[in-house]
Amino acid sequence: MTKPRPKISKATVTRLAFYLRELQQMQRSGLANIQSKAIAERLGLNDSQVRRDISCLGTVGQRGVGYRVQELIESIQRVLGTDRTWNVILVGVGNLGRALSGYRGFEQQGFHLVGAFDSDSKKIGTSIGSLEIQRLDDLSSFCQSHQIDLAILAVPADAAQGVVREIENAGIPGILNFAPIAVQATSKRTIIQEVDLAIELQRLAFGVVPKAQ
Amino acid sequence: MTKPRPKISKATVTRLAFYLRELQQMQRSGLANIQSKAIAERLGLNDSQVRRDISCLGTVGQRGVGYRVQELIESIQRVLGTDRTWNVILVGVGNLGRALSGYRGFEQQGFHLVGAFDSDSKKIGTSIGSLEIQRLDDLSSFCQSHQIDLAILAVPADAAQGVVREIENAGIPGILNFAPIAVQATSKRTIIQEVDLAIELQRLAFGVVPKAQ
């Protein structure tokens, strides 16, 4: 299976996603045009980096006026593939799962949460937001009647690998893994993106001079 | 202020943090020695990449035996700066803040949550885990009597920039920002690491072939 979108490095994809968020914020506050320099300043990047990234999009700015905010938003969304709705399910409704389900940023970027699953029988049938929590065993049949693009995995570490297999068997092509353990896909077509919140803290700590103790 | 640790790219820091997590997992399951190839396989990287990263640490493996797991763990922790305890506070005790406070991975990697703050008067005095939620206005005095290294910011977007200023004024050198907006430091000495959970989904979506709709 080939990638549907242009070859862009992971680092560029990440920066584009940050530009998109800032541009949407700017648009909400009424801005129609923007210079690359203003984006760079808001994100603590340098101007030439921002211009290089934007040039990948094929969007052209106008000297002295800058880029049209709406046009930039649309071209970034097209490149990232978020110019459409992605149907997402949540697997694992603990504290983290609950927080993720209420995370407004997902919906804003086109990620639509359409199902929530857990293996704890006490949770089944209770609701999370507007969704009713379903049995993990029902994942596969749910995916036969709904087109699910992505799964957010928020189960404990020791359950994660087994659940990945169930998600793959249900035919879901992408997994965002919040379980604090690396999981492996069985199929080469499954894309897994690891998120580890402790690793984010470690990345921060690396740059910080700690206080004397 | 100069960086206290060696010059290593952000990408390498991230990979080292992932190696550390896997090595700790291996150690708990009783493994004493490990080949770079096994780490590479568990993380879906290639062997030479892993060996290159480890060589930055000054740790030497033995042909046929590999690396000593304990030694590798210690050298990664030394480079990342997590061979000590980091005192962390949480600012913003909504759903996400609650989930983050219960995230066991933090404590495991040496991040010790010592305070929780919110501006909502209804929450003040209630508890989150073993901590009592304090008034945001008391942040500064709390930091005078405690040595705080890092703040986790989990407030709404519109409050984030103002709270960053308060965190900086309290003398905290590092901020992990979960608010869905880019914030700016006033001081050049403050390090801010942005985490955006929607951006993680966008990075995943970029690699996934969506289902037809």
Please report the ipTM that was assigned to this predicted complex. 0.83
B112 touches chain A (CB under 8 A): no
Q: Does B127 touch chain A (CB under 8 A)?
A: no
Is A187 in the B-facing interface, judged by CB distances under 8 Å?
no
CA of A60 vs chain B CAs: smallest distance (Å): 23
Which helix H or strand E contains A116, and what residues bound it?
strand A111-118
Per-residue confidence band for B1, with pLDDT thresholds at 50, 70 and 90? very low
A204 with B181: Cβ contact below 8 A: no
Q: A122 at the B interface (CB within 8 A)? A: no
Whether the CB-CB separation of A179 and A207 falls below 8 Å is answered with no
| DSSP character at residue A94 | S
Which range is least confidently modeled, A204-213, B83-92, B179-188? Answer: A204-213
- What is the reported pTM? 0.78
Looking at chain B, the number of H-run helices and the number of E-run strands are 9, 9
Contact list in A for residue B96 (CB cut-off 8 A) is 99, 102-103
Query: Which residues in chain A are closer than 8 Å to B40, comparing Cβ atoms?
Result: none
Q: B86-199 adopts what CATH topology?
A: Rossmann fold (3.40.50)
pLDDT at residue B177 tops 80: yes
Q: Which of B109, B149, B192 sits opposite A202 (nearest CB)?
A: B109
Instruction: Match 């203003």 to its residue by tokens.
Output: A38
A176/B201 Cβ within 8 A? yes
Residue pLDDT, tens place only, B31-80: 999 999 999 988 878 899 999 999 888 877 788 888 999 999 999 999 98
**Contact B186/A at CB under 8 A:** no
Q: Any idea where the domains of chain A sit in the sequence?
A: 10-78, 86-199
DSSP, collapsed to helix, strand or coil, labels residue B46 as: coil
Chain A: give the shortest CA distance to residue B96, in Å: 5
DSSP strand pairing (A67-68 vs A33-34):
antiparallel
Contact A89, A152 (CB under 8 A): yes
Please tell us whether the domain made up of A10-78 is placed in CATH 2.20.25.90. no
- For residue range A50-109, list pLDDT tens digits in order: 999 998 888 777 888 889 999 999 999 999 888 999 999 999 998 889 888 888 788 888
Q: Where are the alpha helices (DSSP H) in chain B?
A: 10-28, 36-43, 47-55, 69-80, 95-101, 104-108, 139-145, 157-169, 197-207
Assess B180–A contact: CB distance below 8 Å, yes or no: yes
Fold of B10-80: Arc Repressor Mutant, subunit A (1.10.10)
Determine, for residues B174 and A204 on separate chains, whether the beta-carbon distance falls below 8 Å. Answer: yes
Residue B204: closest CA among A144, A153, A42: A153
